[in-house]
Amino acid sequence: MRWNIDPSHSTAEFSIRHLMITNVKGRFGALTGTVELDADHPESSVVAVTIDATSIDTRDDKRDAHLRSPDFFDVAQFPTLTFQSTKVTRTDDGFEVVGDLTIRGITKAVTLEVEGLSNPSKDPWGNTRVGTSAKAKINRKDWGLLWNAALETGGVLVGEQIKISIDVSLIAAAAAIAA
């Protein structure tokens, strides 16, 4: 069955160590995509997501501008981040989705731990919906996100490991409902 990501009810968030003492959290406000889910044969399922890199929001305008710059995401040259699944496996409590994550034109494999889908429900507008959450950890340097600054007291300004958290509301595609 085909499901479309509802952009207004879905988020892609991240957390990264800052000054070696706290975690800074941010989000991308604009994501779209589809999930072709075969419940009986999850290995046949396909996930495709596109994130608008310009929609980054860490609640600090200067930091957001720096993250959009060539030091980090270089949104003028690479306006989107994409994820395309290559393997879906059912686990005891959901799915493991392996796929190609592309950032700054660099593609690397990432494994998402995905919770099981919620039970389908109808929204007030007659759409059938399900929801799920996923998480992963990546090293930003693997995607060319290399900028950093040494701290006077030792260590660096920005950590390497990024924790990713994704929450999606999926709407059954009209064609899937008709079938």
- Flag whether pLDDT at 3 surpasses 60: yes
**Rg of the chain on CA atoms, in Å:** 18
pTM: predicted TM-score of the whole model, two decimal places? 0.88
Strands (E), the chain: 2-5, 11-18, 22-28, 31-36, 46-52, 56-57, 80-91, 94-103, 106-115, 121-122, 128-139, 158-172
Q: Which residue has the higher pLDDT, 118 or 175?
A: 118
The pLDDT of residue 157 is 58
Strands 22-28 and 56-57 come out as antiparallel
pLDDT in tens, 60-96: 899 899 889 998 889 999 999 999 999 999 999 899 9
Identify the band that residue 159 occupies on the pLDDT scale cut at 50, 70 and 90.
confident
Strands 11-18 and 2-5 come out as unpaired
Top-level class of domain 2-178: mainly beta
CA distance 161 to 124: 40
- Taking the domains of the chain in order of start, what are their residue ranges? 2-178
